[in-house]
Structure 1
């Protein structure tokens, strides 16, 4: 392998010399160019006819081949280097960002480097001429993060704010030493997030701050350096110095010495959240959230009288600001980077799940990733070690009630999710659970496969106390088929699939032997199957629930995932002839059958 790499480097050198008269750069000369020699296997210099805009010298392209060439594209540097943040697509030490992630190449044909060099030459010409200045907006976060220095100990801030709200507004913020700074639109949202990640919120580190919305993105030369420039932006937005002063007070009145605030910027690729903090220290005694600056507070440097506008301007100009690293963790970004069309509907839908076993528990992460955020969970049993092989939860939750354990798990891993209630009894024995299922849930999922529970649901439907649609789901023996029946509101048509004792009238698979196995407890049995067999059914059910939430139904819907014939035969079964006569051939399986 080392010889192959060396041969590739030699071939590249020959190509560059033949096409561009490129000369290899000795390692000792790289230090003078500011290029770290340890990162590259070899470097070549190519002369161009482009004049550097600052000193008029002819720009050279430095082709730096990485040790993994030809499977990784060489880096291209400019010398003399173009100034970072003055020209788009320029990184540290004059390195060019030439090809984006969408560009593909054939690593077995190294002539792709010719296209790279041609594109580099064109990029330099375009960026020097100013034709690419709009790209500062397109790639805003790259340039923003390069405009300030961060220490290895500095934690990235977190934004939970709704980017669809295009207004300048007061928001809430927590300054937490271990998790960093967290911004949220509301106090409830902030406290819920902190609780779910294991932090008890308190007034010592919770405060209010400002989110400023900009209609156009700044270029790097326009990045603010002091709070006075922020005040000027607010004055321009409001057209009223009093309103601008009230807004800036939310920052100045922070309980923190170095308060942070958000900047929301609209770009061609959608809204972007960035953040800044004050670096000089505001020296207040803490008046977070006070909007009326003109009621001066002792401790801010004034007596109880009006603060003149000119003093406010001076104070803001003297207070430096800098950018800070921030990461969006709001559902719109996490669940599809603002491209999930389901979210507007699913995020407002509350789902009740009865039964958090092998089917119900594994639906949770799929439903959350579809955008559902509010749940009522019910299960009367604790997790056992033998459940782990086909359950969402692992060994750390053994012995914990399944509903309560699922609540802990999803709220920790998906902190924006809210579990309204985790019932640890049979749902029809718990008045609190019954009330929440019937009054709060927009739809329900019954995943118990227990006839008594399903009949209790029927009773609630027929009495008019349960008015939402119910999704019933269960598996056949050895999980060779997973059924999903959507029972429209006001009926119990699902019951027509079973006899009076809950036996399925028509199954997909037929077995001539007993499919359950006894446990070591009196009367105990279990159905042998694993998590792989179930996974396809989980996806089918989650898709059906999402369609129900987004589109609704006029009639019942019934679909079945049938596993492979190979799985069926390995379990000693065959497809049911009566099922196939009624609903159609199953053949080799591994597909969804839409029965209704």
Structure 2
């Protein structure tokens, strides 16, 4: 590749290769001169000399793919200085990582994205991971939810907000470079002898906040004490000066704040969902997976209600595993959600049957944005319906449950003060069931010894109903579903017909979702 055909001052040839799986893999283009000593930083030339190029269609002839790779390489090497700078800024995080130092544990930050330089707090180290937060209270809550001990006193550091991403040539190489970005005396309060100081750098890329870390180290505790009395230790300004000459270790940082976790900063609904509160009555298989699904969607607060403990036979289709057997479902589920989503606003357990709720507990339910009855018994469902009828402004109710052997499932949205009991027959059965009149020997399976009835369906069989209830709950919380509605999951129709039960005409196919009007 003659230099007259591109702009790279060192590269005059590239090597192209294929591996044993070609043509089912892409050709590889390598420019070792691009990583020689003194070579300029160049977009898409990786630290080992490989060029990061676009992928090609496998259907293209092999020769065409080789030639196209060479042409793409020439295009990269022909980038002007302006184009190279723009690409380096756009891929700032990738180049910081490539030219940085990997750690065994992640560096996570919960910052709110404000484009301001400011003091922040952190906890941890390169072996345990580092956690950055706006203040000590946020950090303590986050660590507590994750089951990690909170520090007695949070360590402080500085976030340096950049007007634009740094080019690779301007990446800080020493503590002096880092301090120059912050200004005089910005680190005096944060540096400590014998400690590594992780400094965050933040900027906007395509309107989204991104962060990286530069770790700097200064004088040891022993050396800092030389020439100074314990009563009058080395002044902070002198300690800070000792951090200037050591190398700056570049570390990658992952955003772990609400907006990023639930949509990578592009989900306009997450701020609405973060302020929503959902009470889930029934923390069994349905309720557990539904709680997690809503937490993943960004719902901020939960009240989890259940009176039972997890038993070993639950584990096959429950969110919780064997480590939670013997624990109260609501308590164990709350801890699990807090650990998995430590940024959540609040997750509270309530142990006890819904039908024995006290006045103050019913008043608490009335303050929630949505109540979900997930696979509980008729006594609990009717009690919950009665509580809602007595409320001045009852929250919407999603009533979700599964028919025999999970051949069908329902998510019923009851809003605007509608009465759930109106949809039940004299035996307490839903009038819009999709199957009925199951033969006695087909309706239930029985546990050996105790004679407890159960439904032996798998986790896969119930997921259609979970998804149906998940979507309906979000539609109600976001105002997309205004009136009462019946959404049903159609499972394996052949299983129902083979059992000899009566199948409703609405159950016209297998494995799909239908919506029907609430008629009461």
**Alignment of structure 1 residues 53-92 onto 2, 5 Å:** 53-54=8-9, 59-82=12-35, 86-92=41-47
Asked if the contact 2:486–2:516 (Cα under 8 Å) also holds between the matched residues in 1, the reply is yes
Report the more deviating stretch, 436-445 or 367-376: 436-445
- The C-alpha deviation readout for 1:438-478, integer Å capped at 9, x for no partner, is 26532111113322212222332232277322211112222
Q: 1:590 aligns with which of 497, 504, 511?
A: 511
**Over aligned residues, Cα RMSD in angstroms?**
3.3
Structure 1 partner of 2:106: 156
Asked if the contact 1:71–1:107 (Cα under 8 Å) also holds between the matched residues in 2, the reply is no
Whether 2:152 is the aligned partner of 1:214: answer no
**2 CA distance for matches of 1:210 and 1:525?**
60
**2 CA distance for matches of 1:483 and 1:448?**
10
Whether 2:85 is the aligned partner of 1:146: answer no
Whether 2:460 is the aligned partner of 1:532: answer yes
Unaligned runs of 5+ in 1: 1-45, 236-243, 287-296
**Alignment of structure 1 residues 416-455 onto 2, 5 Å:** 416-417=343-344, 419-429=346-356, 431=358, 434=361, 437-438=364-365, 441-455=368-382
**Alignment of structure 1 residues 169-568 onto 2, 5 Å:** 169-176=118-125, 178-203=127-152, 206-234=154-182, 245=185, 247-252=186-191, 257-268=195-206, 270-281=208-219, 298-301=232-235, 317-318=244-245, 321-417=248-344, 419-429=346-356, 431=358, 434=361, 437-438=364-365, 441-464=368-391, 467-488=394-415, 491-514=417-440, 515-520=443-448, 524-551=452-479, 553-568=481-496
Report the more deviating stretch, 76-85 or 130-139: 76-85
Unaligned runs of 5+ in 2: 225-230
Asked if the contact 1:378–1:423 (Cα under 8 Å) also holds between the matched residues in 2, the reply is yes
1:464–1:149 Cα change, 3 Å: closer
1:187–1:397 Cα change, 3 Å: same
1:133 is paired with a residue of what secondary structure?
A: helix
Higher RCO structure (Cα 8 Å, ≥6 apart): 2
**2 CA distance for matches of 1:431 and 1:273?**
48
Greater C-alpha radius of gyration: 1
Asked if the contact 2:216–2:243 (Cα under 8 Å) also holds between the matched residues in 1, the reply is no
Asked if the contact 1:397–1:405 (Cα under 8 Å) also holds between the matched residues in 2, the reply is yes
Q: TM-score, normalised by structure 1?
A: 0.76
- The structural deviation recorded for 1:173 is 0.6
- The structural deviation recorded for 1:248 is 3.5
1:233–1:284 Cα change, 3 Å: farther
Asked if the contact 1:214–1:263 (Cα under 8 Å) also holds between the matched residues in 2, the reply is yes
**1 CA distance for matches of 2:327 and 2:240?**
58
- The structural deviation recorded for 1:93 is 3.9
2:31 is paired with a residue of what secondary structure?
A: strand
**2 CA distance for matches of 1:73 and 1:522?**
62
- The structural deviation recorded for 1:355 is 0.2
- The structural deviation recorded for 1:538 is 0.7
**2 CA distance for matches of 1:522 and 1:47?**
84
1:282–1:546 Cα change, 3 Å: farther
